[in-house]
């Protein structure tokens, strides 16, 4: 992508209402634009990151055996009357009436809709276990939307729903999501610690939040430092190996980790002092086992092997996809700007023409652009006739993993300058050597 043809409205300063660094950087890097409070347009650069996160979440959900579908944003109020949550949900729910007077709502979550789909089509234990998910916009009329996309009113969530014949198999479904989340967040370049959590309005008796530690996090969290060193299951993990699933959860739940609502000071103080972490965190995922909470009132029943009928046992599993864009920045930035983990970066390489008025320099840059694109890299090519200082500052701000600067001086010596954004380390190399190095880095 040529920057001269792109829409990248970067700014030097962030507006005063942006109080946390991720919000400031997202505005300065031209990733989002606020409509009303907590409602954003995703500008081209921000949209690319959002899509990259969505894709990793999708791949890891699929790997764990979940199946993607798509439910609408607008839901029938009647389903929520059946579950009993229509009145219980309160002013956070945006209620809408259509032209014929029917009550609709903009979904804050989808337990009711998915249970309705389930009961329409699934009648037998033979069709279970089943885990269905989607990535869809939600609306919650939060009292205090803040921190940019981290607490929005409209936000993108991945929500998965598991259906099982009994509690024992539902707990396996829960463990699958637990293990899968560890891999997902690891691929997104962040460490998310599973912590015992309060199920809140979703309900249930077993619940974990996945927390990224960050000073600007909204929740107070307490955990054992040892948890940070437990390796993730890895992409080769066998999700059908029940013993391995239980072990992955046990490896972590053996250590103390809880959010404020579930905090037990005595248990926390029992951890060796040098391992006690009392910090703040960002909740990027939340999983729940709630048994028959929805299947009972909504009569989602299936035939058992014995020939009787039973209510299904359910769980739901959320990831804050749009919140993660902010969360990843909170965990990965420096004084110059964002430092994207390669897996979610909006482009792989930022190519800078340091003297666009110089024909030879422009020819060399055009050639580098072509060769990088042909080799499969997504390149943002700053081809504008502007001063190098501003170009470097923009590239540092938007945080692409690699920067490639080409100017007349280097070209005389047959070299270009390659910089790794994360470390600031630079090298003078031939274009061939750059391509070799980047290709090697990719595998």
The nearer residue to ligand 5CA, 211 or 406, going by C-beta atoms, is 211
- Nearer to ligand 5CA by C-beta: 151 or 252? 151
Question: Which one, 148 or 346, has the nearer CB to ligand 5CA?
Answer: 148
Closest approach of ligand 5CA to the CB of residue 318, in Å: 3
Spatial separation of the C-alpha atoms in residues 205 and 202, rounded to whole Å: 10
Nearer to ligand 5CA, 319 or 351 (CB): 319
- CB of residue 73 vs ligand 5CA: minimum separation in angstroms? 14
Report d(CA 196, CA 208) in Å as an integer.
5
Closest separation between CB of residue 197 and ligand 5CA, Å? 8
Question: In 3D, which of 178, 208, 167, 202 has the Cα closest to residue 291?
Answer: 167
Binding site for ligand 5CA (CB under 6 A): 109, 111, 140, 142, 151-152, 155, 157, 159, 202, 283-286, 288, 316-318, 320, 322-323
The stretches of 309-358 forming alpha helices (DSSP H) are 321-331
Phi/psi for 76 (5° steps) reads: -80, 130
Closest-approach residue to ligand 5CA (CB): 320
Rounded least distance, CB 315 to ligand 5CA, Å: 9
289 phi-psi bin (left φ>0, alpha ψ -120 to 50, beta other): beta
Query: Least Å distance between CB 101 and ligand 5CA?
Result: 28
Min. distance of Cβ 13 from ligand 5CA in angstroms? 25
Q: How far is CA 183 from the centre of its chain?
A: 12
How far is 71 from 65, CA to CA, in rounded Å?
A: 19
CA distance 406 to 356: 10
145 versus 407: smaller Cβ distance to ligand 5CA = 145
Nearer to ligand 5CA, 152 or 401 (CB): 152
Across 93-108, b (16+ Cβ under 10 Å) vs e yields: bbeeeeeeeeebbbbb
């Amino acid at each position: 992508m040529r920057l001269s043809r792109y829409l990248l409205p970067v700014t030097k300063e962030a507006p005063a209402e942006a109080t946390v660094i991720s919000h400031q950087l997202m505005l300065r890097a031209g990733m989002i634009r606020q409509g009303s409070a907590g409602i954003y347009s995703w500008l081209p650069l921000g949209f690319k990151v959002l899509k990259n996160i969505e894709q990793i979440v999708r791949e890891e959900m699929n790997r764990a055996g979940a199946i993607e579908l798509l439910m609408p944003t607008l839901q029938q109020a009647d389903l929520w009357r059946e579950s009993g949550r229509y009145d219980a949900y309160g002013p956070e729910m945006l209620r809408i009436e259509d032209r014929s007077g029917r009550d609709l709502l903009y979904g804050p979550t989808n337990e009711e809709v998915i249970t309705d789909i389930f009961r329409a089509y699934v009648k037998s234990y033979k069709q279970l276990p089943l885990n269905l998910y989607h990535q869809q916009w939600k609306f919650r009329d939060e009292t205090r939307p803040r921190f940019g996309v981290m607490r929005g009113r409209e936000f993108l969530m991945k929500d998965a729903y598991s259906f099982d014949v009994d509690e024992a198999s539902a707990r396996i479904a829960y463990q699958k999501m637990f293990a899968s989340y560890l891999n997902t967040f690891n691929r997104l370049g962040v460490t998310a610690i599973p912590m015992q959590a309060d199920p809140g309005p979703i309900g249930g008796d077993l619940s974990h939040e996945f927390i990224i530690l960050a000073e600007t996090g909204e929740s107070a969290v307490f955990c054992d430092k040892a948890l940070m060193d437990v390796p993730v299951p890895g992409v080769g993990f066998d999700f059908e190996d029940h013993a391995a699933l239980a072990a992955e959860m046990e490896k972590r739940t053996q250590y103390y980790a809880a959010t404020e609502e579930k905090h037990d000071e005595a248990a926390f103080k029992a951890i060796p002092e040098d391992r006690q972490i009392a910090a703040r965190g960002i909740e990027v995922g939340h999983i729940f086992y709630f048994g028959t909470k929805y299947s009972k009132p909504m009569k989602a029943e299936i035939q058992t092997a014995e020939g009787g009928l039973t209510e299904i046992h359910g769980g739901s599993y959320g990831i804050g996809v749009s919140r993660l864009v902010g969360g990843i920045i909170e965990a990965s930035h420096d004084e110059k700007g964002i430092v994207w983990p390669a897996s979610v970066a909006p482009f792989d390489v930022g190519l800078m023409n340091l003297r666009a008025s110089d024909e030879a320099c422009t020819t060399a840059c055009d050639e580098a652009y072509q060769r990088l694109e042909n080799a499969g890299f997504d390149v943002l090519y700053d081809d504008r006739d502007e001063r190098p200082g501003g170009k470097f500052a923009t590239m540092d701000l938007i945080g692409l993993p690699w920067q490639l600067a080409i100017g007349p001086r280097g070209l005389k010596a047959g070299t270009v300058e390659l910089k790794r954004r994360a470390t600031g380390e630079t090298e003078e190399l031939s274009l061939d050597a750059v391509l070799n190095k980047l290709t090697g880095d990719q595998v």
